[in-house]
Amino acid sequence: MALRVVFMGTPEFSVPTLRALVEAGHEIAAVYTQPPRAAGRRGLELTPSPVQREAERLGLEVRTPVSLKGEAEQAAFRALAADVAVVVAYGLLLPKPVLDAPRLGCLNGHASLLPRWRGAAPIQRAVMAGDAETGMVVMRMEEGLDTGPVAAVQRVAIAPDMTAGDLHDALMTAGAELMTAALARLEAGELAFTPQADEGVTYAKKIEKAETRVNWTLPAVTVHNHIRGLSPFPGAWCEGEIGGRKERLKLLRSALATGSGEPGSILDDRLTVACAAGAVRLVELQRAGGKAVSASEFLRGTRMQEGTKLS
């Protein structure tokens, strides 16, 4: 018998899981997502979230509360009489009355191998830290930040040049498959939960603008992980002189390279840049207002000679 599910999610990352639950035959009582946000050049257009667009395409009821702290919103949630709530990157706090409302609790699809990288930015932080592996977990939610017991794990390798965007897409697919399998076991009464270990807890704090600028005085491996960990969003960046004036360059892909020199200086005609120890070769970058291009495309239209200093 299918479960009666409340789905709660907002970005593109959440969409495959919603789609997979519908395809598995579960009854979606309602879809909760964050309210439409201002977008467009002037910020005057309200744009619905990717989850809202997908839910409407599927003909599902959509709810977009600003908060779930009020008694009226909590009563409306309870009235759905859900068996379970499935939460994937929703972005709003679930108060205890909401956590307690579904008959079988609230399950969260989280993009890390808990207890490592609890919090807001687990994908970026795993890449920035140079982790060789991460994954998706299904955990039962409680009031603490990603502290609940874990029921299912899918490990995903992080290749040396993989960006956060690449990893996002791999985890998005893995998460949909994992949650669907977890609900099948839940429906059969076979889903078991294991408390998280007390050791190895780390926190994936939100990415701040102040940390996105590249620091060439760090070792090459650290710079490389920084670039790929922030790609494609918000993007690591630096400044370089082009046509006699400084321009901001968004760095999207890089590779470790050989070479040495003053940190930030370009070492050859392939955009190899010296770091404190070693060097990185820029593979893909973007000028302000331009599109993302390969290094070779960039150099065809831009003179940036050996010895040029990036800062």
Binding residues for (6S)-5,6,7,8-tetrahydrofolate: 112-115
How many angstroms from the chain centroid is the CA of residue 2? 30
Please answer whether residues 5 and 82 qualify as being in contact, where contact means their C-beta atoms are separated by less than 8 angstroms: yes
Residues belonging to the binding site are 112-115
Exposure string for 79-89, b = 16+ CB within 10 A, e = fewer: ebebbbbbbbb
How far is 105 from 95, CA to CA, in rounded Å? 13
Phi, psi of 224 (to 5 degrees): -60, -45
In order of 11, 49, 268, the CA distances from 46 in angstroms are: 15, 10, 46
